[in-house]
């Protein structure tokens, strides 16, 4: 018996016996509350060691147990919305002993992954996809005449996205069986109200109730006015007691709200629902951070955590340097103080985007639109049409969801909107689902759009000022975390639009570095005596300086923390081709693959865009660089 197994047997005697849902089925019902206690404690201990998402998962312990207890997974499909609430699901589905590797290179993903486990029915890093995916699976099961059950588990925050309602609306036209579980963790239920609604949920999901309901409709269907009366009576009775009228109107049989921590009630209700036909909607209420006092008291701070001390809840602090998000937040407040037209918009990322102080100071000029990126951009467009100056703070990976709005509603109309694109580039432990490595590629082809990328914190503030004062749509993309530590002052200084700067003068090789890669490029330039250019702008490109570098050097190297395909390096290639310049070029960036989770440094090294990787590429390319030139250029 190894030390890990011995520890499990000692501290988690029931959980140590659950290596798969099949083992869970062998337990007695009365053992499940103890299993929930052990699972919750194991989750706290595990995330305290690795960091990750905590509060949401603590709220879904009982739900995960009940679902895997009642459903025959993986034959039955459980589609969890995003991964924050699915850690208990991971632990129950054969990944318990690997939780120590969570979010580490070659370890478990912090999100859901079909490659990682057959129990992850649908991969998800972004929210609000579960109902659409589960509906597709349910439609496939109906087409195959399969008895496979399909369940979507979605949080109340994810229900702010239009995609969730598009799926619910479409489900009303589908002849298939689907259960949607709304995990509502923003409410708390008093014991009396909880007991009452648990009782109602069991009644409304029972075979007796559903049998009477359907049989009455069948009998009264041909009586004049009777069916209409029955529908009104049922709607009236449920409307008095339950908040589910909207879901009923969308074609779902609404059940709840149910206390999501009452394990016997959950199991009983899910068993009742298991064989019901049609579309069912179960509303459960849970508490974020359940069972761990620091997380219960401050679920926002314990949503995503660094490793922490289990006894005190104190999280490990990273570098004291100011993050790019904090630099943006300070700039936002300073600019708002000078311009009353500034309106700040976020799609549910106030804390992550560094907007807390702004939201408190300028509450009447702050808009959190929920997880609705498409709406955020078009809403900004409406504000701009009326002479206001919207700033949309959005993660690069989430901007992907609003691409049509960016083109059709903003760029096409040349509206004066600034996009502050956070988390641009690789994002370490959050992995491929959250990597912002495509924005330069999909933004660069959009007319009217200015695109800038700062090399450091001071330049971030300067480029935000420049693009904000530019009359038209503009985007500033900056990475997660901290930069070189060049902290800005309080001034709102602009930089020349479309102009790069030479950071270092060297021989033979010119490194054209974009944004977050400038520091690494400088390190490589020092090692091999190369010229280093901080390009600053992707669009408009400083074509004059690029041509000068091509004339004075034997090799050009572009470096960016974005996909090579269609990225900033491709813009340089296009310029050289347009001008008929023939010179060896190496484009460094993110290769044509999704980069798995690990530390940010590990990811940069994997892609060859750290200082060592840049130096290695240049060293390998130099002996052949002259061979690639036409003979007349080789001889001078």
Q: What is the pLDDT of residues 75-88, one digit of tens each?
A: 999 999 988 889 99
Residue 5 confidence (pLDDT) above 70: no
Q: Which of 279, 401, 461, 539 is catalytic?
A: 401
Note the pTM of the prediction, 2 decimals.
Answer: 0.87
pLDDT digits (tens, 9 = 90+) for 206-260: 554 455 455 545 544 555 555 555 555 555 555 544 567 788 888 899 998 899 9
- pLDDT category at 302 given cuts 50, 70, 90 is confident
Residue of 187, 149, 162 whose CA lies nearest to 286:
187
CA 13 to chain CA centroid, Å, is 35
- pLDDT category at 627 given cuts 50, 70, 90 is low
79: tokens are 């589609």
pLDDT digits (tens, 9 = 90+) for 525-557: 999 999 999 999 999 999 999 999 999 999 999
Catalytic: 480?
no
Alpha helices (H) along 51-182: 55-58, 61-70, 87-90, 130-143, 162-171
Residue of 273, 276, 295 whose CA lies nearest to 284:
273
Residue of 113, 238, 247, 272 whose CA lies nearest to 180:
247
Output the average pLDDT for the chain. 88
Catalytic: 288?
yes
Residue 517 confidence (pLDDT) above 60: yes
Q: Which of 103, 149, 290, 373 is catalytic?
A: 373
Q: E strands within 342-467?
A: 342-346, 366-368, 389-395, 418-422, 450-452
Q: Which of 288, 444, 461, 480 is catalytic?
A: 288
pLDDT digits (tens, 9 = 90+) for 455-474: 999 999 999 999 999 999 99
CB 102 within 8 A of CB 86: no
pLDDT digits (tens, 9 = 90+) for 114-159: 999 999 999 988 889 999 999 999 999 999 999 999 999 998 888 8
Give the Cα separation of 551 and 545 in Å (integer).
10
Choice among 89-93, 401-405, 485-489 with the minimum mean pLDDT: 485-489
pLDDT digits (tens, 9 = 90+) for 14-43: 999 999 999 999 999 999 999 999 999 999
134: tokens are 């589960």
Give the Cα separation of 509 and 585 in Å (integer).
10
CB 569 within 8 A of CB 560: yes
pLDDT at 635: 37
């Amino acid at each position: 018996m190894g030390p890990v197994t011995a520890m499990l047997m000692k501290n988690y005697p029931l959980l140590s016996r659950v290596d798969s849902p099949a083992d869970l089925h062998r337990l007695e019902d009365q053992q499940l509350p103890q299993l929930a206690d052990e699972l919750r404690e194991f989750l706290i201990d595990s995330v305290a060691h690795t960091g990750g998402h905590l509060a949401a998962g603590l709220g879904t312990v009982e739900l995960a147990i009940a679902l895997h207890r009642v459903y025959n997974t993986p034959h039955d499909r459980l589609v969890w919305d995003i991964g924050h609430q699915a850690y208990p699901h991971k632990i129950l589905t054969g990944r318990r002993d690997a939780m120590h590797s969570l979010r580490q290179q070659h370890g478990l993903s912090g999100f859901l992954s079909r490659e990682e486990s057959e129990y992850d029915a649908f991969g998800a890093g972004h929210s609000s996809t579960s109902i659409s995916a589960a509906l597709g699976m349910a439609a496939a099961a109906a087409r195959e005449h399969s008895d496979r059950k399909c369940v979507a588990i979605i949080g109340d925050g994810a229900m702010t996205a239009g995609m969730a309602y598009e799926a619910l609306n479409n489900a009303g036209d589908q002849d298939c069986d689907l259960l949607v579980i709304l995990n509502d963790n923003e409410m708390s239920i008093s014991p009396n109200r909880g007991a009452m609604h648990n009782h109602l949920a069991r009644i409304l999901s029972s075979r007796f109730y559903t049998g009477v309901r359907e049989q009455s409709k069948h009998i009264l269907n041909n009586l004049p006015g009777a069916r209409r009366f029955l529908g009104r009576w049922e709607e009236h009775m449920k409307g008095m007691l339950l908040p589910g009228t909207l879901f009923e109107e969308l074609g779902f049989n609404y059940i709840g709200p149910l206390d999501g921590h009452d394990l016997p009630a959950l199991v009983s209700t899910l068993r009742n629902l298991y064989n019901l036909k049609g579309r069912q909607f179960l509303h459960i209420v849970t508490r974020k951070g359940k069972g761990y006092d620091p997380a219960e008291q401050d679920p926002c701070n314990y949503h995503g955590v660094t490793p922490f001390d289990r006894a005190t809840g104190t999280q490990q602090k990273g570098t004291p340097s100011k993050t790019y998000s904090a630099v943006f937040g300070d700039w936002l407040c300073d600019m708002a103080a000078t311009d009353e037209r500034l309106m700040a918009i976020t799609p549910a990322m106030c804390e992550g985007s560094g907007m807390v102080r702004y939201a408190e100071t300028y509450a009447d000029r702050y808009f959190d639109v929920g997880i609705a990126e498409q709406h955020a951009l078009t809403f900004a467009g409406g504000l701009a049409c009326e002479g206001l100056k919207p700033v949309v703070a959005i993660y690069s990976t989430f901007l992907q969801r609003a691409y049509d709005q960016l083109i059709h509603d903003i760029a096409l109309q040349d509206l004066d909107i600034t996009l502050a694109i956070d988390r641009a580039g690789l994002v370490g432990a959050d992995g491929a689902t959250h990597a912002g490595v495509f924005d330069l590629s999909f933004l660069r082809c959009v007319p009217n759009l200015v695109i800038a990328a700062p090399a450091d914190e001071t330049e971030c503030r300067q480029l935000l000022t420049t693009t904000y004062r530019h009359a038209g749509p503009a985007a500033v993309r900056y990475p997660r975390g901290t930069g070189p530590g060049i902290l800005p002052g309080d001034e709102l200084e602009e930089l020349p639009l479309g102009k790069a700067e030479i950071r270092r003068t060297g021989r033979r090789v010119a490194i054209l570095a974009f944004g977050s890669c400038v520091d690494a490029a400088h390190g490589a330039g020092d090692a091999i005596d190369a010229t280093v250019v901080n390009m600053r702008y992707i669009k408009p490109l400083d074509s004059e300086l690029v041509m000068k570098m091509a004339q004075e050097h034997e090799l050009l190297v572009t470096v960016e923390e974005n996909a090579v395909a269609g990225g900033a390096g491709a813009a340089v290639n296009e310029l050289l081709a347009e001008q008929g310049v023939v010179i060896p070029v190496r484009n460094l960036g993110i290769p044509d693959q999704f980069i798995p989770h690990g530390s940010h440094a590990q990811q940069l090294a994997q892609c060859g865009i750290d200082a060592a990787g840049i130096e290695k590429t240049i060293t390998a390319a130099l002996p052949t660089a002259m061979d690639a030139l036409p003979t007349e250029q080789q001889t001078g």
